[in-house]
Structure formats: structure tokens, C-alpha cells
């Protein structure tokens, strides 16, 4: 049997393990969505093309709606990409450590996973990209920026270089892009095999909704539409996405609050006996210097603080990842960590 995606959902007081937003979306969003429930034709199938939602997303990013594909979380976006462009006899390139679902989905659809490493500081290593691409000719190459779990952003120069190397599609997973200084969306056009994926789960405070999308050339979107199940995106979810886009300012406000809080948490962490990676996302990767990662993870859990244990991931010996929460949650984490390291 294949191992599934593993992220324990433990009952704790402080949940900082899955990079969700600690803030709920605005009450006015919930009210507007509740009103929308009464307007849905529940006896009819949803708009198969999710057109109105795509129009709104296209406006947000200054692209055409035909360049937008929407699905049940960006995980389903990635799955449909793999079903369409990868599969048996084709390979998918990933550079570990990175988001585990890229390789997981590739394997599930029967692709070979061409696994590359990273530089010692966990940044993307262009020589390694060259090696993997030349050896495996991947149908899909993944770059995650900011990268989960390191939090590091790839520069525009790096993404352009990788684009010049890949024989197939380059998929830049931007689940955390609103926390970062630039976006690869600016590089998407009809003549470039570049796909940028986004999600409502993190910056939009809507993990419960399961909604994600990509921006790509129209010819990519047209292929995906042939593969995805008909009516996969229900009417309520389409409405939730449209209504969320009426609250862009509030989303940006939450993001800047979290960026400020991230600065505070990192400043506290660097004073502790841990190694800390610079983050452009809503999480921070760190490694206790003198103590075992598993032991620290358990000590935090004993204080009812759940963080992500990355210590068995490739290249992340002893590392833990904390999602930035509310000030109170982060203080609980920092207190528990001090105790664990004392
Ligand atoms: C959380 C995450 C996702 C998953 O997003 P969903 O839209 O919730 O499926 C995708 N990519 C990365 C890098 C993530 O961290």
C-alpha cells in the first residue's frame, strides 16, 4: 500500500501545523454567503465553467477568464494538471524538500517522480535543475514559491532561468504568494509554458471551502477542462469564491498583520538555540540546535501546541515548522518552546 498524506489532526488548544489563517473571514462575507444560499437553484447542476468566478479572478489578476481554471482546493488543481500532462511513461520533477503533494499526486497518477535536491541553504540550485531536467525530460516541473516548508521565495531571475530549461510545463505553486514580494503571475502569457497555482485556503482564510485555481495560457486551461469531472465545482463554492473577492482589502489587511507578527516571532526565535530560515510566507521553519526535533515536537504537544514535525522529511533532519497564529497563540508556542529547550 502507498502511504497517504500525513498531517495529524490532533485535538489541541493551539493549532499551528497546517498554515491556515488564524483569522476568520469578515462577518460581512459570511452574511453575504448566507444570503446567497437562498438564491441558489439547488435542483440544478452548477455552472460547469464556473464562469462568473473566473471572470472575477481574471479581473483580480489582469488576465482573461479563459486563462483561469478553478477547482476544489489547489490540490485538485494540481491533480488535474497531473492527470492531463503527466501519467505513466512521463516524469514529474520536484526539488526536495518541498510541498509533499507534488510528488504524491504524480505517483498516484502513475508518473515517475524525478527528484532533485537543493543547495545547502535549501534554495533552488540551478545546476541541479539542469541535471534533473536533462536526465528525465519532465512533463511537469514544480517550483514552490514561497516554498513550503522553508518559506523561501524564488527570484524572478531564477524562475525565468528554469523556464528556459524545462521541456514541458513549469508549475509555480504560489499558495503563499500574497505574503511574498513578487509573483510569477507577471510572467504568464500565451507563448510561455508557465502555470501559476493559487489557493483560497491560506491568505483568504477559507481552508474550509476547498477552493483553488491556476492562471495559465488558454491552451492549458482548455486541456484541463477536457479532463476534469463535469460539475466538479458546486454552486455554493463558486458563490463563496465570488463573494470573497469583494473583500480583497480585508484579506490584504490580514496578510500584513501576519507579516508583522511573523517578524516578531522570528525575532524571538533567533534569540533561542535554534536555527531559523528566512520566511516570506505565514510559517517559519526552524531546527533546535541541541535537542532532537521529535522530542521538541512532543514537548510542545504536551503543552497543547501542535506544530508540523518535518524532522523526517528529506534534508530537514530535526526541523519543525510553525504557522504564524494570533499573538496569543504565538506567545503560547514561544513559551512552550523556551520550556522545551531549557
Ligand atoms: C496548503 C498548500 C496547498 C494546498 O492548498 P489547497 O488549496 O488547500 O488544496 C497547495 N500548495 C502548497 C505549497 C500548500 O502549502
Whether residue 57 sits in one domain with residue 153: yes
My answer on whether 193 and 164 are in the same domain is: yes
8-state DSSP, 89? T
183 dihedral zone (left: phi>0; alpha: psi -120 to 50; beta): beta
Same domain, 240 and 254: no
Q: Do 212 and 310 fall into the same domain?
A: no
Q: Provide the domain count of the chain.
A: 2
Q: How far apart are the first and last CA of the chain?
A: 41
Instruction: For residue 97, say if its preceding peptide bond is cis, omega within 30 degrees of 0.
Output: yes
105 lies in some domain? yes
Closest CA to 263 of 252, 279, 286: 279
CATH number for position 213 = 3.40.640.10
46 domain residue, yes or no: yes
Q: Which residues of 238-265 are buried (b: 16+ CB within 10 A; e: fewer)?
A: bbbbbbbbebeebbeebbebbbebbeeb
Residue range(s) defining the domain that contains residue 281: 14-24+249-341
Rounded distance from Cα 342 to ligand 1 centre (Å): 34
Does 35 map to a domain? Answer: no
- Same domain membership, residue 109 and residue 66: yes
Q: Which of 245, 260, 277 marks a domain boundary?
A: 245
For residue 6, tell me if it sits in a domain. Answer: no
Answer yes or no: do 52 and 101 share one domain.
Answer: yes
As given in the structure block, the three cell numbers for residue 281 are 510566507
Q: Which long-range contacts (CB under 8 A, 24 or more apart) does 293-300 make?
A: 293/317, 293/318, 293/319, 293/320, 295/340, 296/320, 296/337, 296/340, 296/341, 299/336, 299/339, 299/340, 300/333, 300/336, 300/337, 300/340
- Our mutation pick for probing the ligand 1 site, out of 74, 172, 179, counting the most ligand atoms within 8 A of Cβ, is 74
Mean pLDDT of residues grouped by 10 in the chain (342 residues)? 65 95 97 97 97 98 98 98 98 97 97 96 96 98 97 97 98 97 96 98 97 98 98 98 97 97 98 96 96 95 96 92 98 98 92
- What crossing angle do the helices spanning 73-85 and 100-108 adopt, rounded to 10°? 40
Report whether residue 75 contacts ligand 1, using a CB cutoff of 6 Å: yes
Is residue 305 situated within a structural domain?
A: yes
Taking the CA of residue 75 as reference, the ligand 1 atom at the shortest distance is 9
Residue 214 DSSP SS3: strand
Q: Is the minimum distance from the CB of 148 to ligand 1 under 6 angstroms?
A: yes
Give residue 10's pLDDT.
Answer: 78
Same domain flag for 123 and 44: yes
**Residue 194, burial from CB neighbour count under 10 angstroms (0-12, 13-18, 19+):** buried
In a domain, 32, yes or no: no
Quick one: pLDDT at residue 300?
Answer: 97
| pLDDT at site 4 | 66
Residues 172 and 314 both lie in one domain:
no
Domain boundary among 189, 222, 245: 245
CB of 215 closer than 8 Å to CB of 177 = no
What is the DSSP secondary structure assignment for residue 315, as one 8-state letter? T
pLDDT at 9: 73
Whether the CB of 199 sits within 6 Å of ligand 1: yes
Instruction: Identify whether residues 156 and 193 lie together within a single domain.
Output: yes
pLDDT at residue 6, rounded to an integer: 63
Strands 283-288 vs 320-323: parallel, antiparallel or unpaired: antiparallel
Q: Whose CA is nearest to atom 2 of ligand 1?
A: 175
Q: Do residue 269 and residue 209 come from a single domain?
A: no
* Total count of residues recorded for the chain: 342
Helices (H), the chain: 27-37, 51-61, 73-85, 100-108, 126-136, 156-165, 218-227, 235-244, 248-269, 293-302, 327-341
CATH of residue 294: 3.90.1150.10
206 Cα distance to chain centroid? 13
Q: Are residues 177 and 223 in the same domain?
A: yes
Distance CA 96, CA 94 (A): 6
Task: Answer yes or no: is 9 within a domain.
Answer: no
| Any domain includes 313 | yes
Do residues 233 and 260 share a domain?
Answer: no
Amino acid at each position: 500500500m502507498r502511504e497517504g498524506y500525513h498531517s495529524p489532526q490532533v485535538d489541541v488548544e493551539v493549532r499551528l501545523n497546517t498554515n491556515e489563517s488564524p483569522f476568520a473571514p469578515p462577518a460581512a462575507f459570511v452574511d453575504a454567503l448566507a444570503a446567497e444560499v437562498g438564491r441558489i437553484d439547488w435542483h440544478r447542476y452548477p455552472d460547469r465553467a464556473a464562469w462568473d468566478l473566473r471572470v472575477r479572478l481574471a479581473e483580480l489578476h489582469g488576465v482573461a477568464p479563459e486563462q483561469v481554471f478553478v477547482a476544489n482546493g489547489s490540490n485538485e488543481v494540481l491533480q488535474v494538471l497531473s492527470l492531463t500532462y503527466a501519467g505513466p511513461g512521463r516524469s514529474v520533477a520536484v526539488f526536495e524538500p518541498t510541498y509533499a503533494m507534488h510528488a504524491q499526486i504524480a505517483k498516484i497518477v502513475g508518473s515517475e517522480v524525478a527528484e532533485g535536491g537543493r543547495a545547502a541553504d535549501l534554495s533552488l540550485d540551478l545546476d541541479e535543475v539542469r541535471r534533473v531536467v536533462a536526465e528525465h525530460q519532465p512533463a511537469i516541473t514544480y517550483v514552490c514559491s514561497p516554498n513550503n516548508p522553508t518559506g523561501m521565495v524564488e527570484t524572478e531571475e531564477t524562475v525565468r532561468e528554469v523556464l528556459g530549461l524545462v521541456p514541458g510545463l513549469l508549475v509555480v505553486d504560489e499558495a503563499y504568494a500574497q505574503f511574498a514580494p513578487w509573483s510569477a503571475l507577471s510572467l504568464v502569457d500565451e507563448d510561455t509554458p508557465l502555470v501559476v497555482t493559487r489557493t483560497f485556503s491560506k491568505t483568504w482564510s477559507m481552508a474550509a471551502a476547498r477552493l483553488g485555481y491556476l492562471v495559465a495560457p488558454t491552451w492549458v486551461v482548455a486541456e484541463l477542462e477536457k479532463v476534469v469531472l463535469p460539475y466538479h465545482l458546486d454552486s455554493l463554492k463558486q458563490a463563496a469564491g465570488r463573494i470573497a473577492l469583494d473583500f480583497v482589502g480585508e484579506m490584504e489587511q490580514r496578510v500584513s498583520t501576519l507579516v508583522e507578527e511573523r517578524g516578531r516571532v522570528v525575532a524571538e526565535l533567533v534569540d533561542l538555540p535554534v536555527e531559523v530560515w528566512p520566511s516570506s510566507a505565514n510559517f517559519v521553519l526552524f531546527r533546535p540546535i541541541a535537542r532532537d526535533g521529535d522530542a521538541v515536537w512532543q514537548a510542545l504537544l504536551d503543552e497543547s501546541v501542535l506544530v508540523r514535525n518535518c524532522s523526517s522529511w528529506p534534508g530537514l533532519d530535526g526541523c519543525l515548522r510553525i504557522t504564524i497564529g494570533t499573538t496569543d497563540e504565538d506567545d503560547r508556542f514561544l513559551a512552550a518552546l523556551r520550556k522545551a529547550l531549557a
